[in-house]
Chain A
């Protein structure tokens, strides 16, 4: 079974600083997708960034980037130039390629941004 682990329940960062959120996962498959989602108080799960396992290049979306280490089964999220609006719960998620409806989520990391 696939499992996703986020070992940091809560983190804090100063506005304009950089923070890295950790995620590890367990799978026996060689091809899959990994995601970071942001969940603000509104509860909507917003896709932050997506990584295909077959791509060696790390995904980047503006201030958000990942460090994908396939052999180590590690998928961390780096947020640069943190903004107050980045404060939220962040969930790491895994999805198999061929069963695209099943998402497996980590337990989440609450990110606080201090002004």
Chain B
């Protein structure tokens, strides 16, 4: 039982490049979230998926797209990376009010 896994752990991108952050959970949860965590700003919700096949915008969705591929996987895509997207990205799988976070992806956009 691995919980929530994220890949990659660290990535450096140039402005304008694209990439997809992968997230998978093996706990059979319906809800999955993507957050970004910036110093002094805490966690901000980017997108969430209440169940397989559904996705909704969170607090800061601009510049991102998501795909809930199946119940296990929820990916986050940056189509054209910008320096403002430098952050630590966390995926979470949620049951009731307990949120199980992945280890995070550190993204640096130059």
Contact = CB atoms under 8 A, between A and B. Distances in A.
Interface of A: 1, 4, 6, 9, 33, 35, 37, 39, 43-47, 50, 91, 101-108
A45 B48 contact: no
A1 B40 CA distance: 18
A47 B97 contact: yes
Nearest to A95: B97
A92 to B, nearest CB: 9
Interface of B: 3, 31, 33, 35, 40-45, 48, 50, 56, 58-59, 90, 92, 94, 97-104
B48 A101 contact: yes
A104 B45 contact: yes
Contact of A45 (B44, B50, B92): B92
B98 A91 contact: no
Contacts of B99: 37, 44-45, 47, 103
B44 A105 contact: yes
Contacts of A37: 99
Given A43-B103, A102-B45, A105-B42, 15 more contacts: A33-B97, A35-B97, A43-B102, A44-B100, A45-B92, A45-B98, A45-B99, A46-B98, A47-B97, A47-B98, A91-B43, A104-B59, A105-B44, A107-B41, A107-B42
B42 A6 contact: yes
15 contacts: A6-B42, A9-B40, A37-B99, A43-B101, A44-B3, A45-B100, A47-B97, A91-B42, A101-B33, A101-B48, A102-B45, A102-B58, A104-B45, A105-B35, A105-B42
